[in-house]
């Protein structure tokens, strides 16, 4: 074997007279300092390792989620910028960004629960959350009682001495029922139960659950906060530093940390959140009204419509707009829904929401396919229910697309 292939081959580069060799200088480039000006764009700290002057300082850095940066699983400057930004919007004391919305949900549940604990959860939760709770039941004996989102008495009736968590969503998927956050959370608070609210559908611009008593707020930032179908991420916002610390510790073990580039993309998306949310809300209200008047449509589910079951509650909890997601029922059932979702041209048949693009979905055969017909009916999903996540395209173009697809059903 030649010297070149040998792992012990000597460095080919010559040593310079007055400093380290090129091989070494390549590994230690002088870092450009920003002086005399400041970056307007959020800096991306992709590097995941940080060096210290003293061993004591490195030891102290391990102490908690607000410590000095040393290794990205424990914290990173770009990720912390995202955590502080979302904590600020939600009115929390701190936040933990994770690799996905499910990462935030599972890490939080695993940090709060022990084997044998009891959870009260809203019946219409996102399927992934129900899956995580079911797994906790099967593997760890965590018992879960499901209740409706508008009945504080049902929460009171379900309470047990070992109840640890109440898990809710601000707006339910896909029928956009608006949860009685103040009513349900007040019952949990009196019993010392931690309230967790998934606020993904509402965004912190339309609803801030902490103002209604929530202890933890969760987002899939994959949706509205990121907004551009180019990033997967999640975040949990806390009101109690001790709980924040506990969930952060669990995230270290699970390896749930957000990647800095994902955090950076989310922060870039968030800079236009207010503009996008305004457009999503205005267009969704406009389209909901037009759909309600269409002969192929038997019902429209959008909290901005006076006909919606929770319209009054929505006016109180979502005073600045009712979100960008709506659902409607087609008279022709499953066949009509299939024809509709495959006939859209501007909109896309895709399983997400909160995007700049308009997305359509048939919940009974996709996001909620694990439910029986009775369970679907219990959460208001019919065979002909279609969900639309209204994008930021011109509303006339979105309507023209939905109208031509409705003509095919």
CA dist., res. 101 & res. 353, Å (int): 13
Q: Which is nearer to ligand PLP, 101 or 227 (CB)?
A: 101
Min dist. Cβ of residue 101 to ligand PLP (A): 2
Active-site annotation holder among 208, 223, 276, 313: 223
Q: Is 198 in the site for ligand PLP (CB under 6 A)?
A: yes
Ranges of H-type helices in 113-198: 127-140, 152-158, 181-190
Closest to 111 (Cα-Cα) out of 264, 238, 244: 244
- Among the residue ranges 98-106, 151-159, 204-212, 315-323, the one whose residues contact ligand PLP (CB under 6 A): 98-106
d(CA 175, CA 201): 12
- 91 sits in the region (left: phi over 0; alpha: psi -120 to 50; else beta) called left
160 catalytic residue (yes or no) = no
Chain centroid to Cα 55, Å, comes to 37
Of 80, 117, 126, 180, which one is the catalytic site residue? 126
What are residue 178's DSSP bridge partners? 171
Catalytic residue selected from 117, 177, 180, 198? 198
DSSP state of 212: G
Question: Is 189 a known active-site residue?
Answer: no
* Interaction between residue 256 and ligand PLP (CB under 6 A): no
Q: Which stretch binds ligand PLP (CB under 6 A): 100-108, 179-187, 339-347, 380-388?
A: 100-108
Q: How far apart are CA 199 and CA 217, in angstroms?
A: 6
Catalytic (active site) residue 126: yes
Cβ atoms 259, 106 nearer than 8 A? no
124 counts as binding ligand PLP under rule CB under 6 A: no
Q: Is 389 in the site for ligand PLP (CB under 6 A)?
A: no
Under the criterion CB under 6 A, does residue 107 sit at the interface with ligand PLP? Answer: no
200 binds ligand PLP (CB under 6 A): yes
Pick from 22, 64, 128, 183: which binds ligand PLP (CB under 6 A)? 128
- 100 φψ region: left (φ > 0), alpha (ψ -120 to 50), beta (else): beta
Least distance (Å) between residue 250 CB and ligand PLP: 17
* Contact yes or no for 247/215 (Cβ under 8 A): no
Q: Is 100 in the site for ligand PLP (CB under 6 A)?
A: yes
Which residue among the candidates 60, 73, 123, 268 is catalytic per the annotation? 73
Compute the chain's Rg from CA coordinates.
25
Closest of 37, 314, 369 to residue 179, by C-alpha: 314
Owner of token pair 């940090």: 111
Angle, helix 333-343 to helix 395-406, in steps of 10 degrees: 130
Query: Shortest distance, CB of residue 156 to ligand PLP, whole angstroms?
Result: 25
For ligand PLP, the binding residue among 78, 170, 203, 222 (CB under 6 A) is 222
Applying CB under 6 A, among 75, 92, 94, 101 the residue interacting with ligand PLP is 101
126 binds ligand PLP (CB under 6 A): yes
Which DSSP category does 161 fall into?
T
* Cα–Cα distance for residue pair 366/369, rounded to 1 Å: 5
Q: Cis omega before residue 350 (within 30°)? A: no
Report in angstroms how near the CB of residue 166 gets to ligand PLP at its nearest: 16
Our answer to whether residue 73 is catalytic in this structure is yes
Q: Binding to ligand PLP by residue 149, rule CB under 6 A?
A: no
Contact code string over 352-381 relative to ligand PLP, x by CB under 6 A = ------------------------------
The secondary structure element, H or E, covering residue 194 is: strand 194-198
Q: Which CB sits closer to ligand PLP, 103 or 395?
A: 103
Closest distance of CB 22 from ligand PLP, Å = 44
Residues that bind ligand PLP in the complex, under the rule CB under 6 A:
100-102, 126, 128, 169, 173, 198, 200, 220, 222, 232, 234
Q: Just list the catalytic residues.
A: 73, 126, 198, 223
């Amino acid at each position: 074997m030649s010297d070149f292939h040998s792992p012990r081959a000597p460095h080919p580069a010559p040593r310079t007279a007055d400093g380290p060799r090129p091989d070494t200088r390549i590994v230690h480039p002088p870092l450009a300092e920003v002086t005399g000006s400041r970056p307007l764009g959020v800096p991306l700290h992709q590097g995941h390792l940080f060096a210290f002057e003293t061993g004591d300082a490195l030891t102290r850095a391990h102490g908690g989620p607000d410590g000095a940066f040393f290794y990205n699983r424990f914290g990173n400057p770009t990720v912390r910028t995202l955590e502080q930004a979302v904590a600020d919007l939600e009115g929390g004391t701190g936040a933990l960004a994770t690799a996905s919305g499910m990462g935030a949900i599972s890490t939080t549940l695993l940090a709060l629960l022990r084997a044998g604990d009891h959870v009260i959860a809203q019946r219409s939760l996102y399927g992934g959350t129900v899956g995580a709770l079911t797994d906790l039941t099967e593997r760890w004996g965590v018992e879960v009682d499901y209740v409706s989102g508008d009945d504080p008495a049902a929460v009171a009736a379900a309470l047990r001495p070992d109840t640890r968590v109440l898990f809710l969503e601000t707006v339910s998927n896909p029928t956009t029922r608006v949860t009685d956050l103040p009513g349900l959370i007040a019952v949990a608070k009196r019993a010392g139960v931690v309230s967790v609210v998934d606020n993904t559908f509402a965004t912190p611009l339309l609803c801030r659950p902490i103002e209604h008593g929530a202890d933890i707020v969760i987002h899939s930032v994959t949706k509205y906060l990121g907004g551009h179908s180019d990033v997967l991420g999640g975040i949990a916002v806390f009101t109690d530093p001790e709980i924040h610390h506990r969930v952060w510790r669990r995230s270290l073990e699970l390896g749930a940390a957000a990647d800095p580039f994902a955090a950076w993309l989310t922060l870039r998306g968030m800079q236009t959140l207010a503009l996008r949310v305004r457009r999503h809300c205005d267009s969704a209200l406009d389209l909901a009204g037009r759909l309600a008047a269409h002969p192929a449509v038997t019902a429209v589910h959008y909290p901005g419509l006076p006909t919606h079951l929770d319209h009054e509650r929505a006016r109180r909890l979502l005073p600045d707009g009712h979100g960008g997601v709506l659902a409607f029922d087609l008279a022709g059932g499953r066949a009509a829904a299939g024809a509709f979702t495959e006939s859209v041209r501007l909109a896309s048949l895709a399983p997400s929401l909160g995007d700049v693009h308009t997305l359509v979905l048939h919940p009974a055969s996709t996001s909620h396919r694990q439910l029986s017909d009775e369970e679907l009916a219990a959460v208001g999903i019919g065979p002909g229910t279609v969900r639309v996540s209204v994008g930021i395209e011109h509303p006339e173009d979105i309507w023209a697309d939905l109208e031509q697809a409705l003509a095919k059903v």
